[in-house]
Amino acid sequence: MENYLKKNFDVDPKRPSEEALMRWRSAVRVVKNPRRRFRMVADLAKRAEAERKRKKLQEKLRVALYVQKAALHFIDAGSRPIEYKLSQETLLAGYGIEPDELESIVRSHNSKAVESRGGVEGLAREVSVSLPDGVASEEVSNRQNVYGFNRYAEKPARSFWMFVWEALHDLTLIILMICAAVSIGVGIPTEGWPDGVYDGLGIVLSILLVVIVTAVSDYKQSLQFKALDKEKKNLIVQVTRDGYRKKLSIYDLVVGDIVHLSIGDQVPADGILISGYSLTIDESSLSGETEPVHINRDRPFLLSGTKVQDGSGKMLVTSVGMRTEWGRLMVTLSEGGEDETPLQVKLNGVATVIGKIGLVFAVLTFLVLTLRFLVEKAQHHQIKHWSSIDAMKLLNYFAIAVTIVVVAVPEGLPLAVTLSLAFAMKKLMNDKALVRHLSACETMGSASCICTDKTGTLTTNHMVVTKLWICNEAKTIKSGDNEKLLKPSVSDAVFNIFLQSIFQNTGSEVVKDKDGRTNILGTPTERAILEFGLILGGDSTFHREESAIVKVEPFNSVKKRMSVLVSLPNNGGFRAFCKGASEIILNMCDKIINVDGKAVPISEEQRKNLTNVINGFSSEALRTLCLAFQDIKGNHKAESIPENNYTLIAVVGIKDPVRPGVREAVETCLAAGITVRMVTGDNIHTAKAIAKECGILTDGGLAIEGTDFRSKNPQEMQELIPKLQVMARSSPTDKYILVTQLRNVFKEVVAVTGNGTNDAPALHEADIGLAMGIAGTEVAKENADVIIMDDNFTTIVTVARWGRSVYINIQKFVQFQLTVNIVALVINFVAACITGSAPLTAVQLLWVNMIMDTLGALALATEPPHEGLMQRPPIGRNVHFITVTMWRNIIGQSIYQIIVLGVLTFCGKKILKLSGPNATLILNTFIFNSFVFCQVMFTD
């Protein structure tokens, strides 16, 4: 059986191949109840259709962007914009440009039109927005009326009654309805009113029960998926409104909004660049074009749905919602449903196998019954006389056979998986984990290894500068410190350049909100440094305006540094600032600032001393950064920011405490047989200190730097990886290599956490990708299977626990279902052979089947996890789903039940002292009830 399952019912948990999806579908082609079987399964035809539509849209877009544009250059040369009249509506609302016009300018990348309208400033005027202050909140609804909402068309939700109607289409239910009708139709004339309707009414009631339960459960689930879908698509964007920078839901974005973009963001609407630094966009999600696009004044168009690959910038929103290509694409995106999970498919396989066995038994039962009947007839020499009663008898045999087939196919199995996963998904949502792909829930149960990053997952991500080294002196910063901290010991010259390097070389921004409170926006590291600058008495606006920023190289995880180039006032030349990972910056420095603010060469001894300082800070689990600068004299054409010859200003140590509960969570993982590895971009000493504190780094464990790891050959890697507990200063590729090695060579089921754009490849490759909800970028989330909403490592353990619970619940349900099926089959078959009639009637069998499929699935699938789950090893890759223990339970239980029921069937009348005309009837009822009770007891 396992082999058969493996061959036909095996799909990958992540991105299953179309071929595998088709394969199992064709293996279950002849199912008796397709409606039910495929209820929660992706509709491949619909999906292919959507895919075709999407491809066509993309193709169209690509032509528009890359081919037509070239042509446009010729056509447009010299042509003036067509004068056209504004519609009354737009005029009244106070705008100078039509939504259609805006839409077409950006869509066709028409730079000429932008120029003729006075560039982005001109366009801003036409949509009446001030570039520094952004949209005024009162105006939002006005803009939405004219230019539309940033929402995509959705299919209308299906009503509850649609689900009821669908539930009624179930084949078992239809048969039962006919039975009920017949029963009532026959009952009234024979038994009279009201005795004659009881049987039929009973069936009708149970049909109603099942229909309502099914419909309610399906309906609730559809609502849940809808809510989840909305949550998935609800991005938070940074905009300037009313003069303040703030966070906003993507749905509230309007034309005219000024959106801030940084690395890893998704462009939330169509728009035009206002200003930016090394802004690089990945348009592949939209046009399929993989070549990154550089956005600048000459090519200022930003399309909704594309991703920021590098750099940062500000854009003016020109079209939203269904006026963007992305909007049109989004509509096709959710078409056809999600991929089914491996368990769903596997259980479809189990159901099919049992169905086939059932079919054999059904045929056998029918043959045996008919044969017996014929033999009996022959014995009475009536073989030539056929009455209608005989025909009825044969018909009844046939009905029993059909019922056995119906009962034998445990259709509740695949359904139970869906219910179970959906239930886990809902519970996980409450526990701050958003499951993007159902299969992740399932895979997480077998995770044997977690590669986690450090910052924000193990630590709180609330960073504070607690140590400073400047002018040969290390200082500890306490909470009450203020501007006096550096005053006597550090000269004004040094103090000034230090503050400049803090406030000019930053990706963050100090903003005042409406109530005048100071807020710092940006990444935690940047915020900590700016905050420190404020403590020292720095003034963000003052220092920013001291000199003009010429060029910025925003931070990214590959370079691990950020630099800016500023032009000093009064033609004083240029100055470059650089800050970043301590060792890296130290290597870029050949001078150091002395007490008087002069740059002097670093002596060998001083360099050693500095390394000690850095290692000292790091060993205290601090994130250390170096700040450096250099003056560029003369007429240096400010083309690029230099990479060396810097002058070191200071070393800062930033504290990022370990989250409470992480140590325990790591312990839980270890107890559950899940190895935890830390892969971080931070310094090795910092990483080790934190790893020790969390219990990840143990005595025999190995901590290694990314560069070392990279240089190993495959042989060495194989020896090293089992011991590897910490990898520091890792590049995105290191993480990716580690994950592929763990998966391919060590056959581990790997969960990976990540937040940055750089983590995307590893998240994509992992068996389960977990992205951070707060600190995570859009790109990371998009490549993940689960989003950890509170960024907390403990939540990851919760996901694992639920994953295991799902698996075990389903195993329990399979065990239960299989037992029922075996018992029902054997009892009917044996009784038919021996007595010539089936003790469990068709209606009874159907009834049990129906209740079991629906209610049983519901009850067993939704059992919450218990602590014991995390005290056993993970379920490995490629283990048999039905374990030996399960077979033993199934067979043991079946034998027990068969004996009980067998004894009742054959000696029941004696044991229960039944006699009289109704004896058989009473006995069969008793058997039926025993059967049901056997199952009920077994469930516990």
Ligand X SMILES: Nc1ncnc2c1ncn2[C@@H]1O[C@H](COP(=O)(O)OP(=O)(O)OP(=O)(O)O)[C@@H](O)[C@H]1O
Binding site for ligand X (CB under 6 A): 453-456, 507, 523, 525-526, 555, 557, 560-562, 579-581, 623, 625, 680-683, 756
CB nearer to Ca ion: pick between 276 and 756: 756
CB nearer to ligand X: pick between 543 and 623: 623
Contact partner at residue 525 from ligand X, Ca ion, none, CB < 5 to 8 Å by partner kind = ligand X
CB nearer to ligand X: pick between 414 and 580: 580
CB nearer to ligand X: pick between 420 and 525: 525
Q: Output the smallest distance, CB 710 to Ca ion, in A.
A: 17
Contact partner at residue 307 from Ca ion, ligand X, none, CB < 5 to 8 Å by partner kind = none
User: How far is 300 from 152, CA to CA, in rounded Å?
Assistant: 24
CB nearer to ligand X: pick between 443 and 680: 680
CB 94 within 8 Å of CB 127: no
Which two three-digit tokens encode residue 437? 């792909």
Contact partner at residue 454 from ligand X, Ca ion, none, CB < 5 to 8 Å by partner kind = ligand X
User: How far is 501 from 631, CA to CA, in rounded Å?
Assistant: 12
Q: Which residues contact 342 (CB under 8 A, 6 or more apart)?
A: 10, 11, 12, 13, 439, 442
Quick one: CA torsion of 922, 925, 926, 931, rounded to 10 degrees? 160
Q: Output the smallest distance, CB 237 to Ca ion, in A.
A: 21
Figure out which of the listed residues 283, 453, 682, 767 binds Ca ion, where binding follows CB under 5 A: 453
Contact partner at residue 507 from Ca ion, ligand X, none, CB < 5 to 8 Å by partner kind = ligand X
Contact partner at residue 625 from Ca ion, ligand X, none, CB < 5 to 8 Å by partner kind = ligand X
CB nearer to ligand X: pick between 266 and 556: 556
Q: Output the smallest distance, CB 681 to ligand X, in A.
A: 2
Contact partner at residue 543 from ligand X, Ca ion, none, CB < 5 to 8 Å by partner kind = none
CA nearest 452: which of 654, 725, 655?
725
CB nearer to ligand X: pick between 413 and 762: 762
Contact partner at residue 505 from Ca ion, ligand X, none, CB < 5 to 8 Å by partner kind = none
Q: Output the smallest distance, CB 124 to ligand X, in A.
A: 30
CB nearer to ligand X: pick between 341 and 455: 455
Q: Output the smallest distance, CB 545 to ligand X, in A.
A: 22
Which two three-digit tokens encode residue 348? 């479809």
Greatest alpha-carbon pair distance for the chain in Å reads 126
Peptide bond before 194: cis, by omega within 30 degrees of 0?
Answer: yes
**CB closest to Ca ion, residue no:** 453
**CB closest to ligand X, residue no:** 681
Burial 899-921 (b: 16+ CB within 10 A, else e): ebbbebbeebeeeeeeeeeeeee
CA nearest 449: which of 869, 751, 663, 786?
751
CB nearer to Ca ion: pick between 112 and 560: 560
Alpha helices, DSSP H, located in 640-683:
662-671
CA nearest 739: which of 709, 716, 713, 707?
709
CB 263 within 8 Å of CB 309: yes
What are the CA-CA distances from residue 69 to residues 57, 108, 110, 112, 310 (Å)? 17, 7, 8, 11, 24
Q: Interface with Ca ion includes 264 (CB under 5 A)?
A: no
# residues contacting Ca ion (CB under 5 A) = 3
Quick one: CA torsion of 99, 100, 101, 103, rounded to 10 degrees? 80
44 Rama class: left (phi>0) / alpha (psi -120 to 50) / beta: alpha
Q: Output the smallest distance, CB 742 to ligand X, in A.
A: 17
Q: Output the smallest distance, CB 652 to ligand X, in A.
A: 10
Catalytic residue among 257, 453, 785, 853: 453
Over the window 701 to 740, marking each residue x when it contacts Ca ion by CB under 5 A and - when it does not, the resulting string is: ----------------------------------------
The stretch near Ca ion (CB under 5 A) out of 230-238, 317-325, 753-761, 862-870 is 753-761
Contact partner at residue 726 from ligand X, Ca ion, none, CB < 5 to 8 Å by partner kind = none
Q: Output the smallest distance, CB 562 to ligand X, in A.
A: 4
**Residue 242 annotated to the active site:** no
Q: Output the smallest distance, CB 780 to Ca ion, in A.
A: 9
Q: Which residues contact 570 (CB under 8 A, 6 or more apart)?
A: none
Q: Is 767 exposed, middle or buried (0-12, 13-18, 19+ CB in 10 A)?
A: buried
Q: Output the smallest distance, CB 337 to ligand X, in A.
A: 34
The stretch near Ca ion (CB under 5 A) out of 180-188, 334-342, 435-443, 747-755 is 747-755
Report the number of secondary-structure helices (H) and strands (E) in the chain.
Answer: 36, 26
What are the CA-CA distances from residue 290 to residues 287, 751, 784 (Å)? 8, 27, 20
Contact partner at residue 748 from ligand X, Ca ion, none, CB < 5 to 8 Å by partner kind = none
User: How far is 550 from 566, CA to CA, in rounded Å?
Assistant: 5
Contact partner at residue 218 from Ca ion, ligand X, none, CB < 5 to 8 Å by partner kind = none
CB nearer to Ca ion: pick between 497 and 775: 775
CA nearest 354: which of 411, 419, 418?
411
CB 652 within 8 Å of CB 627: yes
- Characterize the bridge pairing of strands 675-679 and 724-728: parallel
Figure out which of the listed residues 13, 196, 533, 756 binds Ca ion, where binding follows CB under 5 A: 756
Q: Which residues here bind Ca ion, judged by CB under 5 A?
A: 453, 755-756
* Catalytic residue set: 453
